[in-house]
Amino acid sequence: MELNIRDRTAVVTGASSGLGRGIALGLGGEGVRLALVARRREMLEDVASEITSAGGAAAVIIECDLMEADAPQRIQRAALEGLGSVDILVNNAGGSRAFDLDSSEEQWDEAMTLNFTRQRQLTRALLNQMIERKWGRIVNITGKSEPDGINGAFCAKAAMHSWAKGLSREVGKHGITVNCIPPGRIISEQILRNYTPEYRKWQSENEIPVGEYGQPEDISNLVSYLASPLARYITGAVIPVDGGLRRYQF
């Protein structure tokens, strides 16, 4: 299927590994010109090299820690300087934060900043130039709606879903869509670190209807579609990519 996004421009956060890397490779393979954002420059350069080796355009590398207060403005400046404009924003950076009843306010602030506030701020920093051109795609990689306990990231991702739905109603008239993708068990550094091979095998056989963990390309394929003109009538949606793992009905 021709997605018609060749020569579009995109910012992908958390692009050095895992889902972000897969998303960057997928968009790069479609001919999108990219600004790759993460803390680990060497790994970003590896992703950029893989994209160019496959025939994609050279990527802009933005080494940045999203926890820094000026991160949204730094990313905006570097992306616009390197790409000229930004058509697509993929808010992928984040991380799980399992808490207990005594977790501190500092821990909560860090979890909400990393998993919601910086995404909101970066979107706002890039939104006006999308509005001016009457075209834009915002895709947020979020999280499940079935928390196993108190997790700061799950709370932040719930905020992301609510914010994205509201934003979609404000910017649709400008040709901008806003959607969220909560991934299931997708093979990544974090998954391989947190779950043993034995547990992954058991869960695949007993809890995931399609019978296996997903791959980063399973997320990337949907991101590329949502970033395309073909998805112009999909906005304000939360679309799980989880092999049927989650039991909620939306």
Look up residue 106 and give its two tokens: 């500092």
pLDDT for residue 58 is more than 80: yes
Percent of the chain with pLDDT over 70: 99
Q: If you average pLDDT over each of 92-101, 154-163, 183-192, 219-228, which comes out highest?
A: 219-228
What pLDDT shows up at residue 190? 82
Q: Determine the pLDDT at residue 114.
A: 94
Are the beta carbons of 24 and 13 closer than 8 angstroms? Answer: no
Q: Is there a domain that residue 121 lies in? A: yes
Mean pLDDT, the chain, rounded, equals: 95
CATH number of the domain bearing residue 55? 3.40.50.720
pLDDT of residue 97: 86
- When pLDDT is cut at 50, 70 and 90, the band that residue 95 belongs to is confident
Is residue 242 included in any domain, yes or no?
A: no
Res 180: pLDDT: 98
- What does the H/E/C string look like for 109-160? HHHHHHHHHHHHHHHHHHHHHHHHHCCEEEEEECCCCCCCCCEHHHHHHHHH
Separation CA 199–CA 120 (nearest Å):
35
Instruction: Report angle CA 103, 106, 107 to the nearest 5 degrees.
Output: 50
Instruction: With respect to residue 99, please indicate whether it lies within any of the assigned structural domains.
Output: yes
CB 48 within 8 A of CB 61: yes
Number of domains in the chain: 1
Instruction: For residue 152, name the pLDDT band (cuts at 50, 70, 90).
Output: confident
Is residue 245 one of the residues assigned to a domain?
no
Contact between 219 and 180 under an 8 Å Cβ cutoff? The reply is: no
Q: What is the pTM of this model?
A: 0.95
Residue 153 pLDDT greater than 90, yes or no: no
Residue 250, pLDDT score: 58
> What is the model's pLDDT at position 1?
81
Q: Token match 């547990």: residue?
A: 199
**CA–CA distance, 194 with 197 (Å, rounded to integer):** 10
Q: Can you give the residue range of the structural domain that contains 97?
A: 9-231
**Confidence check: pLDDT of 144 > 90:** no
Q: Which residues contact 5 (CB under 8 A, 6 or more apart)?
A: 27, 30, 31, 32, 88, 224, 227, 228, 229
Tokens of 167: 């934003």
> Could you give the percent of the chain with pLDDT greater than 90?
88
> For 148-167, what is the mean pLDDT?
93
Is position 31 within any domain? Answer: yes
Residue 158, domain member (yes or no):
yes
Per-residue pLDDT, averaged over 150-163, amounts to 92
Digit-coded pLDDT (tens) for 223-250: 999 999 999 999 999 999 999 998 875 5
